[in-house]
Copies of this chain bind each other. A is one copy, B any other.
Amino acid sequence: MHALIREAEALCLRTGVTFTPPRRRVLELLAASKIPMKAYDLISQAGADGHPFKPPTVYRALEFLCQLGLVHRIEQDATFVACCHSGHTQPVALFVCNSCLKVTEVAYPNVAKVLENAAQAQGFQVESIVVEGRGQCAPCAQAA
């Protein structure tokens, strides 16, 4: 069993929420994928073994997993990727490789504060930030 699944089970136990079959199935598929997946890839693949999931089921599972920080949604292309750390709620930047599509998660401890201050300087009270990027991951950059 993938480590992330155990993470999820433990996390759900701790927080008193339930790790149901669709939630598990969706997380399994994402954990098995090395790259972000589209919602409808999940919908079709989840049903490959005979139990088809319909869109609402998968979207609900995705929302649940994103809230727990086990999955991240990449806004730029509406894809979803399993978190490569233990589930975190702290913000991270997601950098997607233009060549292999793999995601590199980058924490930005101080930067977030600086951004918030820059916004604050214009009177804007920040509640949430999304940082995404594109480029070349380490292996692909070296290969080039």
Q: Which residues of A contact B (CB under 8 A)?
A: 75-76, 93, 95, 97-98, 104, 106-108, 110-111, 114-115, 118-119, 122-139, 141-142
Contacts and interface: CB of A to CB of B under 8 A. Distances in A.
A90 B140 CA distance: 26
Contact of A124 (B115, B124, B136): B136
16 contacts: A75-B130, A93-B119, A95-B126, A97-B124, A104-B124, A106-B119, A107-B118, A108-B115, A114-B114, A115-B131, A119-B133, A123-B137, A124-B137, A127-B134, A128-B135, A130-B131
A131 B75 CA distance: 11
A72 to B, nearest CB: 13
A122 B98 contact: no
* Chain B CB within 10 A, most for which of A110, A115, A136: A115
* Chain B CB within 10 A, most for which of A108, A133, A139, A142: A133
Contact of A104 (B76, B97, B106, B122): B122
A132 B133 contact: no
